[in-house]
A and B are shown apart, each in its own frame.
Chain A
Amino acid sequence: MRSLLYLFTALGVIALAAWAYRENHLTRQAMNERGALEREIVLLKQSISIQRTEWAYLNRPDRLRDLVDLNFERLRLVPITADHFGEIGTIAYPLPEARSEVVDTIETFGAIEHLMAHLDPQSEDP
């Protein structure tokens, strides 16, 4: 009886040791992965920061103003002033018959029937 107990204890110790060994290596592997991820995060953060800086640099007010001046012929952008605000009263109400016309005049290319079948449940009935 006692020798059986010894045997089980010894087996238990061996099993635990094996488990601890495995765990140790898994931990080290996880730590290595973490290190690699951290390095990657640092690099990605740096590139994000470079992109952000570049974006800010390209959008700096001086440059935008120069671009507006250069492209004035095409875009005709001017500083916003009080004249550019409209009154809600000056906007006309949509004409009541306009809606059906709009639906009819959509021009399409390609597989629109297929899409329509999905959009319109009625078409599947017949």
Chain B
Amino acid sequence: MSRADRTKLEGFLRGKVPLARVPLTVAIACGAISGLTLIVQAWLLARVVDAVVIHGLARDTVWPWLWGLLAVFILRTITTTIGDAVAFEAGARVVLAVRGALQTHIFALGPSWTRRQRTGDVTSTVFDAAESIGRYYAGYLPQRVLVAFIPIAILAFVVPTDWVSAIILCVSAPLIPLFMVLIGRGTEALNQAQWRKLAHLAAHLFDAIEGLTTLKLFNASRAETASIAQTSNAYRTSTMEVLRVAFLSSLALEFFATVSIAMVAVYIGFRLYYRELHFLPGFAVLLLAPEFYRPLRAMGTQYHARMEAVGAADAIVALLDTPVRLSSDRRGSLPAAPIRHIRFEQVGFTYDVEQGGQVSGARPALEGIDFALARGRRVALVGPSGAGKTTVSQLLLGFLTPTRGRITVDGHDLATLPAAAWQSRIAWLPQRPTLFHGTVLDNIRLGRADADPARLRDAIEQAEATSLIDGLPHGLDTMIGERGQGLSGGEIQRIALARIFLADADLVVLDEPGAALDHETAAVVARSIDRLSSRCAMLVIAHRLDAVRDAHEIIVLRHGTIVERGRHRDLAARGTTYASVMGLPVGLDA
């Protein structure tokens, strides 16, 4: 990571300071007061020891100083408590704000972006990275102010008291940050790489555990143990490489601090011996010497918190900087009346080919797509894999915006309509439906928590899912295992179908309905889809004959363009692309 990058990331972190201004100020004020009490405490303590050891006074004469000490102790207890707790608040505010921003941005980037990401990576960014930057505000920033304030305050006391010790402190103090910076610079770059590696490590383990069944099929699950040990060990070796260097910077700090304290003690001793100094100031300075370095020492820890925060900010800024490709000017409005016509007008779409976060080229996916959907009509999209069927549905669903041409909804350009308003009119069955954590009921009512029980029952029946749900251990209240382990592909699809029937949408997009169903069930579902299609506009992406046979129009895609269109009977008779895609012998009248 270059210096400019680091400055940019640090700038990002600084930019969030206003969110935490008040708690930060309070935390710093509390820290400063604690610092000042140290000086008072050192002087009072030295006063007592001087009186007893040098002047041989009795305890009764020093009681006032002793009571004073007690008061100082209590004051410091209060200010440190408040300071620490309030500093947490500063971090928490920023963490919540950043997590919110990340989440909003991921939603804006949409499914066309998320389907190309590793889920583990995105989760790590939203979760761990956001949490790592908290310590920048809770620890590093307040400490940065105190690290200047407390030593200067102590120095202001030491200079008039004992100038020789002041010189020792003054000479050693600037050396410490210097060495820390010199060593810290090298570590920082390593630290950044470290963070990425940790995310990768997480993804690797996730992958192995998710694929455990497959690994077992190939008797490779035990061999994977070695791979996990290896990844983990590699992580240890490289982390230790970073730490050995990182610890050097604290070694430098400890070395200067500890040796300076020893020097202060020895010099004070000799000057006392030659009667160049009084005991009271000498002892007070000895007590303050460790306190002089303590903030610097704490800074060492906070410096790592800062490096970690900058490393984490890298992933966060990269995500927040990912441009949203969807058009943003969406001030149009969609009439409340049911949608009648949706037209693709010479629609084209080109994907950016990205390499290492940079756009390195373009990959055309669709060209000159022209077709219309209408209420009560069913259009089927067929074609070999890679022909662009998924891109068409992503455009229609509003996850992508056409790069050429336009899609209109009852005459309004889809790119100008608010995405949520448009999507609220759609029901969609993806190829691999996601079941979310919750009950079967929650999943069917997804987004419609208030659905009426009678309509719910009806939707379940339409999706042929009644007996399936009755067979579950707790019926509708059965909890879903992630990605439906425990439910078969066909069962998941029927639950997702029930979702569609419940939605009562103007437009229904079905991606391979019935693909995971057995023949009988598929036929029944096809019949209920028939019934559904009379109430809405429908686009079906399919490979199977029974799903397209009755379509009002079949559109055949190949290499991103429409090569054939028409009704099943005509297309089948023609015996060209359609026939070969659907596996029909030439000229067969199906």
Q: Do A and B come from one complex?
A: no
Which B residues are closer than 8 A to A by beta carbons? none
